[in-house]
């Protein structure tokens, strides 16, 4: 078994308040949890209203399964029109 750890740095253009920021991030985090059974948390909060960093983890059987999970995760995030992925990193433990 392996643990896939993904860090996403996001830009949230147009978020003028923390309430708007939460309104964008919460449904995205819930969708990742529900659809892919991932652990998702906002890490390093306080980066401003228009930026966020998500830490995501999954336990996978092998790296190929983790790569497939990463592809599905990326597809879900890229479909969200209110979010721009600035940086993404993934590693296995």
pLDDT of residue 47 exceeding 90, the answer is: no
| Residue 86: count of CB within 10 angstroms of its CB | 12
> Domain boundaries in the chain?
2-92
9 pLDDT higher than 80: yes
CATH entry 3.30.70.1120 includes domain 2-92:
yes
Query: 10 Å Cβ neighbour count for 27?
Result: 12
The pLDDT of 3-10, averaged and rounded, is 96
**Average pLDDT of the segment spanning 61-73:** 94
Q: How far is CA 22 from CA 11, 50, 64, 88, in A?
A: 13, 11, 33, 20
pLDDT higher than threshold 80 for residue 45: no
Residues composing the chain: 93
Hey, how many other C-beta atoms are within 10 angstroms of the C-beta on 49?
14
User: pLDDT of 12-34, one tens digit each?
Assistant: 998 888 899 999 999 999 999 99
């Amino acid at each position: 078994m392996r643990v896939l750890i993904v860090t996403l740095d996001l830009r949230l253009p147009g978020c003028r308040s923390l309430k708007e920021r939460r309104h964008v991030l919460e449904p995205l985090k819930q969708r990742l949890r529900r659809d892919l059974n991932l652990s998702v948390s906002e890490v390093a909060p306080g980066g401003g209203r228009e930026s966020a960093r998500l830490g995501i983890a999954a336990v996978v059987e092998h790296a190929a399964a983790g790569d497939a999970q990463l592809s599905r995760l990326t597809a879900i995030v890229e479909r969200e029109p209110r979010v721009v992925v600035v940086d993404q990193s993934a590693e296995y433990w």
